[in-house]
Structure 1
Amino acid sequence: WLVDVNSGQAACLALAAISLPEHRRRLDEDMLEMQNFFVVGDVICCEVQRVRADGQILLHTRSTRYGRLMNGVFLAVAPQQIQRQSHHIVQLSCGVQVVLGLNGYIWISLPMKTSAKDTMNYAHVQTTHEKVSKEMRLAISRVRNIVLCLARSNFDISTQTIERMYDVSVSRGWEAKDLADPLVMQELVEAFLVARLGKDA
């Protein structure tokens, strides 16, 4: 597969670089039925395996953390705004899971299932669209608007900044939809700065 990774050229995810159900060996039939694993338009979480001398990026999804992403929303921000941290797949205190890609791609969703039998890697078998509760949809929308606010205000985007701005927005009584209003966004930024200065003092 060719994968858009926000680079000058598409990255490559080979069939040999993904895990198959029950860790079975790859068969010739798998090459003919690659669309059973990932199809055009899928959003996936993967890791850079290596970069070849010619600049081609090779990816892999050989972990239960990686594979097809569903039940969420996608955002793209400037890569330099994503702060490096020990974990880039995190679950926030509000129950929303966030994938913060160092390439500037962000996925906000329901928590991913990563047990031995229910893993993202087996996307064609176990990863399905789930019914998302109204409460969780609102939480995902709030996180999305907060990430956009951080991005437009040129703040670093990390677990800590998202959590802190989330708490500020809740304490001020704003609903998720309010955060899309430019005036509310400006007030949120000001309140966030005050809260951050108080926390760091």
Structure 2
Amino acid sequence: MISFASFPSTSEASASYAQARHPPEVEEELGMDLDEDDFDEGVQRLTVPGEPITSSHAFMRGHGTFVDNEEVIASVAGTVERVNKLITVRAVRSRYNPEVGDLVVGRITEVQPRRWKVDANSRQDAVLMLSSVNLPGGVQRRKLESDELQMRTFFEEGDLLVAEVQAFFSDGAMSLHTRSLRYGKLRNGQLVSVPPILIRRLKSHFVALPCGVDLILGLNGYIWVSKHVKESEQEGEEGFDAEAVYSNRNDVIDDATRIAISRVSNIIKVLAAHFVPLTDTVLLEAYEWVVDQESHVKDLLHDEFGEHLVASLGVGIRQ
């Protein structure tokens, strides 16, 4: 036997929902009690799963939240963000979510026929096709079988590189390219890993500090800190020196540059430990403050010194 149940009409349901969710007197009262300073641009508020954030009557829930007992509650650990009346929580620890045009730093994990697999801190390895790299003799020539046989002379397992996200395959894996001399194999430096959420999108992710150190801020959370390279050394893509571009040997680095690289790397680690968003301006201010203190490189990793550094920048997290 088939039975039918009657439901209220759409207009009645909408009216009852609006009355239950948005009573004017409740919204007005909650709007007065809500601390707006918690959502200012200069202040980040850290939350944990299960912690109530605000009332569901005055705000709408976004990603990383759910509603229970008329309260917006965090479902992940991260920072609270507000856009008008929408409340979201950006997870502290999450994989990099790539977009076309992003600059990423990765490590070669496997050499396959006509392609390399690259660890880019994403949900799956990225792919760098042989046709997407610069080869000796100019960027316009066709890729030959001899190039495929010499793939390990360009990139091999363990090599670090900087590339741009070109497209996505049907399975969601990102396709990279290094068709510019600003991209390619990385040398003369060290790799620092931070949560991808801390890397802000900038006009240029190539940063040159006045101390003779270059930074490559990969949007996937990998940062390359290296010896400064002059602009003239990156020009002239046609007929470029393949031995220099794909060399596995580091240049001679003087002690002062080594100390500067270590100092910048430690600054990045300290700022990441305090969950400070990394931009070219913040890194420059942090470096100048550290130089003024005339402290040793190892002192940067002390908790007290790191707290003073973050306090001097005027940024931090509210819990």
With structure 2 as the length reference, what TM-score do the two structures score? 0.57
Residue correspondences, number: 193
Q: What pairs with 1:42-121 in structure 2 (closer than 5 Å)?
A: 42-112=159-229, 113-116=233-236
Aligned to 1:10: 125
Whole-angstrom CA distance in 1 between matches of 2:177 and 2:200 = 22
CA contact (8 A) 2:135 2:242 kept: no
CA–CA separation in structure 1 for the residues paired with 2:274 and 2:242: 33
Equivalent position of 1:145 in the other structure: 266
Q: Which has the higher contact order (CA 8 A, sep 6+)?
A: 1
Which moves more between the two structures, 116-125 or 146-155? 116-125
For the Cα contact (< 8 Å) 1:19–1:121, is it kept in 2? no
Instruction: Pick one of 156, 159, 163 that aligns with 2:284.
Output: 163
Cα displacement (A) at 1:56: 1.5
Q: Which residue of 1 aligns with 2:146?
A: 29
Tell whether the 8 Å contact from 1:19 to 1:62 is kept in structure 2 after alignment. yes
- Cα deviation for residue 103 of structure 1 reads 0.5
Question: Counterparts of 1:104 and 1:66 in 2: how far apart (Å)?
Answer: 17
Unaligned runs of 5+ in 2: 1-115
Pair 1:192-2:313 in alignment:
yes
Cα deviations across residues 147-200 of structure 1 (Å, max 9, x unaligned)? 11111111110111110010111112212221122222122222232xx7xxxx
Report the CA distance shift for 1:120/1:51 in structure 2 as closer, same or farther (over 3 A): farther
Q: Which has the larger Rg?
A: 2
CA distance in structure 2 between the partners assigned to 1:121 and 1:67 by the alignment: 13
Aligned counterparts of 1:118 and 1:155: Cα–Cα separation in 2: 39
Q: 1:119 to 1:73 in 2, by over 3 A?
A: farther
1:178 to 284, 289, 299: 299
4+ long deviations beyond 4 Å: 117-122
* Structure-2 change in CA distance of 1:97 and 1:120 (3 Å): farther
1:123 aligns to 2:245 (yes or no): yes
Compute the TM-score of the two structures, normalised by the length of structure 1.
Answer: 0.89
Structure 1 gaps of 5+ residues are: 197-201
Contact map agreement 1:67 1:120 (CA 8 A) in 2: no
Secondary structure of residue in 1 paired with 2:137: helix
Change (3 A) 1:120 1:156: farther
Aligned equivalents of 2:243, 2:270: Cα separation in 1: 32
Deviation at 1:22, TM superposition (A): 2.6
Decide whether the 8 Å contact of 2:136 with 2:240 is kept in 1.
no
Cα separation, 2, equivalents of 1:131 and 1:38: 22
CA root-mean-square deviation = 1.9
Task: Give the % identical residues.
Answer: 38
Bigger share in helix: 1
Where 1:108 maps in the other structure, the secondary structure is strand
The change in CA–CA distance for 1:140 and 1:40 in structure 2 (over 3 A counts) is same
In 2, distance between residues paired with 1:40 and 1:87?
28
